[in-house]
Amino acid sequence: MADKHLVAGLESFQLEVKNLNQAKTFYREVFGLEFAGPPMTGSTLFRANGTTHHVVELVEGKRSRFVGIELSTSSRSAVDILVGRLGDAGFSISHPPALLSDVTGGGYGATVEGVEGLRIQLVYGRVSHSHVLEDRTKPLCLTHVVLNSNEFERQINFFIGILGFRVSDITERMTFLRCGADHHTIALAHGDSMSLNHAAFAMEDFDSLMYGSGRLLEFGHAIEWGPGRHGPGNNVFCYFIDPEGFAVEYTTDMDQVDESYEVGSAEYWTNFPKRPCRWGVAGKPSEKLAMAFAGKGLIND
């Protein structure tokens, strides 16, 4: 069993996009992120309102696809411990532990390939921004990602047994995993292959979420689901789809849990009243969002 707390949190995720300029415009002008430094050749980093160096990396490519995630560790030695454990388990170490480029925020890290080729960068000591952006209508940080998996049990065992995540809740479709106080940092959904179900960004409060959602509406991006309040995690949500077909969420007010939290079973959540929205307001996701959740709404022509 993996040691707990080697993984400290979720830092960022990476997407390959066909139209980098269009995607950059969406994430900066519409969604509310900012450049995390000068753009690199074919790649751009974005920061949120908080101090985390970057929360999204967009890489220009020939198709729209999810590339991977970046996890922060609790120490430099935690990077080495996890890489050793991954290597012993037969996983590929794409880039062994080393100092990282200042362009991407520096620090010490390694890149590995997990189950289904999931690319994971483990990093410690990234440079933090010295100031917080003052705009409550924009995201604070990346709070969680949900991944679709065709090797569901292997993926669960990987995150729990090697990376040290803990189970928060289980539904028929998803298992919710945490590495800190947030109810979930990673959730795994049954799917046809490894893909991004959605990425969620924390907003300061409900008012901030609504103002941010209003900005997307003004730019012509429909709310595909929400506002509502989820069952597992109890967080408020609004979902949108970016120009490449990826689902993104504004969320706030997620439950904070500890080791005393009682895991809800699939049966418990099936019988939970008013799911998938506790308020009974949001209804169901749009057909377009359902396709995006499944990783099938992407622009690959």
Contact 106, 92 (CB under 8 A): no
Domain annotation covers residue 74: yes
Beta bridge partners of 186: 145, 177
- Interior angle at CA 244, CA 240 and CA 245, nearest 5: 50
Which pLDDT score, from 0 to 100, does residue 1 have?
44
Q: Where does a domain end: 59, 94, 124? A: 124
Domain annotation covers residue 251: yes
- The count of other CB atoms within 10 Å of the CB of residue 199 is 24
In this predicted model, what pLDDT tens digit does every residue of 15-69 receive, in sequence order? Answer: 999 999 999 999 999 999 999 988 788 899 999 999 999 999 999 999 999 999 9
Number of domains in the chain: 2
Which pLDDT score, from 0 to 100, does residue 301 have?
64
In this predicted model, what pLDDT tens digit does every residue of 169-210 receive, in sequence order? Answer: 999 999 999 999 999 999 999 999 999 999 999 999 999 999
Q: Which two tokens stand for residue 242?
A: 């970016």
Residue with tokens 């990783």, as numbered in its chain:
295
- Judge if 148 and 120 occupy the same domain: no
- Judge if 173 and 264 occupy the same domain: yes
- The count of other CB atoms within 10 Å of the CB of residue 173 is 15
Determine the structural domain holding residue 94 and report its residue range: 7-124
- Judge if 96 and 150 occupy the same domain: no
Domain annotation covers residue 134: no
- Judge if 226 and 160 occupy the same domain: yes
- Judge if 148 and 280 occupy the same domain: yes
Which pLDDT score, from 0 to 100, does residue 91 have?
98
- Judge if 86 and 209 occupy the same domain: no
- Judge if 172 and 94 occupy the same domain: no
- Judge if 80 and 223 occupy the same domain: no
Cα–chain-centroid distance for residue 74?
A: 19
Domain annotation covers residue 58: yes
Contact 48, 201 (CB under 8 A): yes
0.95 exceeded by the pTM? yes
Which pLDDT score, from 0 to 100, does residue 6 have?
97
Domain annotation covers residue 1: no
- Judge if 68 and 93 occupy the same domain: yes
Q: Where does a domain end: 90, 124, 158? A: 124
Which pLDDT score, from 0 to 100, does residue 2 have?
57
Considering only CA atoms, which of 107, 112, 117 is closest in space to residue 84? Answer: 112
Contact 227, 237 (CB under 8 A): yes
Whole-angstrom distance, CA of residue 264 vs CA of residue 286: 27
Assign residue 69 the CATH number of its domain: 3.10.180.10
- What mean pLDDT do residues 282-288 have? 97
- Judge if 79 and 172 occupy the same domain: no
Exposure letters 203-233 (e unless 16+ CB within 10 A, then b)? bbeeebbbbbbeebeeeebebbbbbbbbbbb
Domain annotation covers residue 131: no
Q: Where does a domain end: 73, 95, 124? A: 124
Dihedral angle computed from the Cα positions of residues 232, 233, 234 and 236, in that order, rounded to the nearest 10 degrees: -110
Rg of the chain taking only CA atoms, in angstroms: 18
Which pLDDT score, from 0 to 100, does residue 240 have?
98
Alpha carbon separation from 206 to 185, 236, 296 (Å, rounded):
20, 7, 30
Domain annotation covers residue 54: yes
Alpha carbon separation from 200 to 141, 159, 259 (Å, rounded):
9, 19, 23
Residue with tokens 């209003």, as numbered in its chain:
214
In this predicted model, what pLDDT tens digit does every residue of 241-269 receive, in sequence order? Answer: 999 999 999 999 999 999 999 999 999 99
Q: Which two tokens stand for residue 94?
A: 């794409």
In this predicted model, what pLDDT tens digit does every residue of 80-105 receive, in sequence order? Answer: 999 999 999 999 999 999 999 998 99
- Judge if 43 and 154 occupy the same domain: no
Beta bridge partners of 167: 177
Domain annotation covers residue 241: yes
- Judge if 150 and 255 occupy the same domain: yes
Which DSSP state fits 52? Answer: -
- What mean pLDDT do residues 127-141 have? 93
How much of the chain is helix, strand and coil, in % rounded to 5?
20, 35, 45
Q: How many residues does the chain have?
A: 301
Which DSSP state fits 32? Answer: -
